[in-house]
Amino acid sequence: MDIERLIAELTVEEKAALVSGTDFMFTNPVPRLGVPSLRTSDGPHGLRVQREGGDNGVSESEPATAFPTAAATASGWDPENTRRMGEAIAAECRYYGVHVLLGPGVNIKRDPTCGRNFEYFSEDPLLASEMAIGEIEGIQSRGVGVSVKHFALNNSENFRFMGNSVASERTMREIYLKVFERIVKKAKPATLMCAYNQINGTFCSENKRLLTDLLRGEWGFDGLVMSDWGAVRDRVAGIKAGLDLEMPGDTAVCRRRILDAVGDGTLDTADLDRVVRNVLTLVDNYAAPSDGTPVDFDAHHALAAEIAADCAVLMKNDGVLPLDTADKLHICGEMFGRMRYQGAGSSMINPARLTTPEQAFDARGVKNHSIEECDKILVFAGLTDEYESEGCDRENMKLPEAHLNLIDGMIGTGKPVIIVLFGGSPVELPFNDGVSAILNMYLPGQNGGEAAARLLFGEVNPSGKLAETWPMRYEDVPSHETFGKSVNEVYSEGCNVGYRYYKKHNVPVRYPFGHGLSYTTFERSEWVNDGNAYSATVKNTGGRYGAEVVQLYIEGELAGFKKVRLAPGESATVTITPEEKDETVYSDEYTVPEEPPKYPITLESRFIDLRQTFMGRILFKAVIGVSEKQRKKALKLTDGPEKENRLKGAAFLRRVLESNSLRSMSMTAGSSMPYNYACGFVELSNGHLIRGAKAFLTKIKVPKLPKEENVK
C-alpha cells in the first residue's frame, strides 16, 4: 500500500470517514481506492465476535475459547502462559477474520473493589507489564494486532465515563503510566486505546500531553491510538492531541466537525493527514484476510485448563490437600455446578466448551456423601456476576451472604472444610481460621472445573502466587473512604498502592502480595549481587514435582521474578538483572478541583442523574427499559448457559446505561442516538421543552460514507 499516494488522492470527506469506525467493530473502507476495512473484537482473554446481523449485545457471539482472565493468569507469574494463550487467541482471530483484538487491559489495581479488576493483571506495574507483554507478543506473532487499554488512570468504574483522575506527576510516572511505558517500549503494540476519564481535568481522548508528548515523544510509540467506545468528546481537539481513530464511529457530529474545521482552517490539513497516515498504516499492517485455517478448539480447551491449573493460588492448607481418592467427600456450594469462569461485561465470551467442577468430578467417579458420612467437606463459593461486573464498582469486599452462611454451617460440623474460591478480586475471609484449606481459582476460564479437580486431587501441584494483596477488611484499603464515590477520583495515597502501602504503614493483611503454597517444599539461597545482576539457587526439597516463583525485591519493591519448575531434589540457579531505576524527581503535588454541580443536567452528567427532574425521570425510564426488555426476554428462555449469558448481558447493559454520560452514550450509539438527541435530552431534562424539540429536529448533515457511495 502506497500510503503517501493514498493520502494525496483521498478527499477530505474520505479522510474524515477513515479516522472513524463504522458498524460498531469495524474501520471504514474506501472502496474507490482499494482501502479495506479492519475488524476489531472485544478480548482480552478470548473473542467476543458478533454473529452477522447481531445487535452487538454482550451475550450473542460466535463460540470461542474463554481462557482464564488476567486476574488468574497474573497469579501464574509466568509470561509464557499469557504468550501461549495469546497465540491461541490469535488463531481464533484469524479464523473469524478479526484483525485487532481489544486487549489486554493493563490498568493498575488501585482498589480491590474496582468492578473490572478481573480484567487487569496486578497492583504492581512490573508484574502487570511483564504478563501483558507475553500476551501481546503471542497475539502479534501470529499477525493479529492488539489494543492495549485503557490509557490511562482508568482504575474505577462508577464514574469512568466522565470521572477526573486527580494524581501527582510522581504517582502517575512511577505507578500508573509505568505499566504502559514498559509495554510500549518492549512489546511495540499495534494500538493503544485511550480511556474515557479525564486526567487532572483533561479528557484522555484530547490530552496532547498524554497521547503525543509522552506516548510518542518520550516513549517512541509509532502505532495507532484509538478511543474507547464512546470516549470522544471533541473530535477536532482529539485529532490535534493525537487521537487517530474514533470508535465505534458512525457519529455524524464528529465527521461534520472535522469537515467544518478543515474548511474554516481551524484544523490544519497536516494534522488530519497525520492521523489518516496512522490509520492507513494499521490497515496496511493487519488487513490480511482470514486464512481459513480451522481452529482446534479441543486443544485450546486443554490449554485453558493447563494455564488455569498453573495460576491457581493455594492460599491456605493445613495438610488436608491434596485429596485422596479414598476420601469420603461432602461437596456443596453454588460454584460447583455453576462455576463462575469469566467476568461480566464487554469481555464476556460464548465458550466453545464448558467444564464445571461437577463435570470434572463426575468424570473421575467422585461420589458426594452426606455430612454425617464424609471425611472432608468441599465448599465451592465466590463472587457472582451480581457482585462484580464491568460498569460499576463493588460496594464492599464481602462474599454473598448465602455463601458465608453455608461456609459457617459447614465449619459447624467439626469436619475439615476446604474452600474453593471463584471470583475476580479479593474478598474478606472471616472464616479463614475455621477452615483447613483455601484454593483460589480466580476466574479460570471455560475449563476451570478440570483445573480445580486436578489441583484438589494432586494431579497438578499448585504454584500460583497472589498478584495483589488480600487485605483483612476493606477498611484497611487506603482509598476505601472515597473510591468510586464522586467524579473527582483523588489518588491521595500517591505511590503507596497495594503492598507498598501495607508494608510502609505496617498494616496486617490476610494474604500478602506474592503469597502462594505448594504440595512440595522449596529452599532458596541468599541473593548474591555481582554489582549488576542478582543470583540465587532454589531447590525442591519435597517429594513432588512443582514450580516456585523466585521474587526479587529491592527497597521494598518488586524488581524481578522468575518461575522455575523442579523435580524432587532438583536445583536451579536464577539470575535477575533489575532495570536501571529512573532517577528523575517528579512532583508530588496535585490540585483537587471542585465537584461539578449535579444540576442543571449537562452532556457530561451521569444518566442516572436525569432522575432529578420530572422529564428526566421519564427519559431515564424509557432508556433503561431497553435493558429491562432484554432481561424479561432472557427470563423466558430454558435454564442453561444461553439464559445465564443473556441475563448477564441485560444486567451489564443497565449498569452501563446508568453510569454513562449523555455525550458518551451518543458517541457509542451512532445513528440510534445521534448527538442532537443527546442535546435534546439535556434540554428536556432541564425543563426546556421547546429547545429540546428543536434539538431533536435539527439533524446533523454529513456526506455519504465512502462505502455507501456506489450503493444504489
pLDDT, tens digit, 9 for 90 and up, residues 560-578: 999 999 999 999 999 999 9
d(CA 191, CA 285): 12
Q: How many Cβ atoms sit within 10 Å of the Cβ of residue 117? A: 32
d(CA 617, CA 319): 58
CATH code for the domain in which residue 179 is found: 3.20.20.300
Question: 3-state SS of 91-159?
Answer: HHHHHHCCCEEECCECCCCCCCCCCCHHHCCCCCHHHHHHHHHHHHHHHHCCCCEEEEEEECCCCCCCC
Whether 484 has a pLDDT exceeding 80, the answer reads yes
Whether 155 has a pLDDT exceeding 60, the answer reads yes
pLDDT, tens digit, 9 for 90 and up, residues 508-566: 999 999 999 999 999 999 999 998 999 999 999 999 999 999 999 999 999 999 999 99
Q: 584 lies in a domain? A: no
Burial class (CB in 10 A: 0-12, 13-18, 19+), 482: middle
Q: Are residues 537 and 487 in the same domain?
A: no
Q: State the amino acid at position 617 in one-letter form.
A: R
Q: 225 lies in a domain? A: yes
Cβ neighbours for 496, distance < 8 A, ≥ 6 positions apart: 478, 504, 505
CATH code for the domain in which residue 549 is found: 2.60.40.10
Q: Are residues 48 and 170 in the same domain?
A: yes
Predicted confidence at residue 574, as pLDDT, reads 98
| Chosen domain end from 554, 576, 598 | 576
| Chosen domain end from 536, 553, 576 | 576
d(CA 12, CA 270): 12
Classify 692 as helix, strand or coil: helix
Q: Are residues 312 and 459 in the same domain?
A: yes
pLDDT, tens digit, 9 for 90 and up, residues 184-226: 999 999 999 999 999 999 999 999 999 999 999 999 999 999 9
- Average pLDDT (109-120) is 97
What pTM was computed for the model?
A: 0.97
Q: Are residues 469 and 531 in the same domain?
A: no
Q: Are residues 551 and 572 in the same domain?
A: yes
Q: Are residues 162 and 78 in the same domain?
A: yes
Q: 252 lies in a domain? A: no
Q: 491 lies in a domain? A: yes
Q: Are residues 390 and 464 in the same domain?
A: yes
Query: 584 is written with which cell numbers?
Result: 528523575
Predicted confidence at residue 643, as pLDDT, reads 86
Q: Are residues 524 and 396 in the same domain?
A: no
pLDDT, tens digit, 9 for 90 and up, residues 323-336: 998 999 999 999 99
d(CA 654, CA 646): 12
Q: Are 374 and 328 in contact (CB under 8 A)?
A: yes
Q: Are residues 524 and 495 in the same domain?
A: no
Whole-angstrom CA distances from 681 to 159, 615, 622, 688 are: 20, 9, 12, 10
Q: Are residues 439 and 524 in the same domain?
A: no
Q: Are residues 567 and 633 in the same domain?
A: no
Q: How many Cβ atoms sit within 10 Å of the Cβ of residue 412? A: 11
Q: 488 lies in a domain? A: yes
Catalytic residue among 42, 111, 228, 476: 228
Long-range contacts of 234-241 (CB under 8 A, 24+ apart): 234/206, 236/261, 236/266, 236/267, 237/206, 238/205, 238/206, 239/19, 239/267, 239/271, 239/272, 239/275, 240/206, 240/208, 240/267, 240/271, 241/205, 241/206, 241/207, 241/208, 241/210, 241/211, 241/212
Q: How many Cβ atoms sit within 10 Å of the Cβ of residue 5? A: 10
d(CA 62, CA 51): 6
Burial class (CB in 10 A: 0-12, 13-18, 19+), 21: buried
Whether 54 has a pLDDT exceeding 70, the answer reads no
Q: What is the mean pLDDT of the chain?
A: 95
CATH code for the domain in which residue 343 is found: 3.40.50.1700
Q: Report the greatest alpha carbon distance in the chain.
A: 83
Cα 535 from chain centroid (whole Å): 34
Q: 279 lies in a domain? A: no
The count of C-alpha atoms lying within 13 angstroms of the C-alpha of 543, restricted to the half-sphere facing its C-beta, is: 1
pLDDT, tens digit, 9 for 90 and up, residues 598-646: 999 999 999 999 999 999 999 999 999 989 999 999 999 998 877 888 8
Domain of residue 619 covers 607-708
Give the count of domains, the chain.
Answer: 4
pLDDT, tens digit, 9 for 90 and up, residues 415-443: 999 999 999 999 999 999 999 999 999 99
Does 228 participate in catalysis according to the annotation? yes
| Chosen domain end from 576, 593, 623 | 576
Q: Are residues 74 and 223 in the same domain?
A: yes
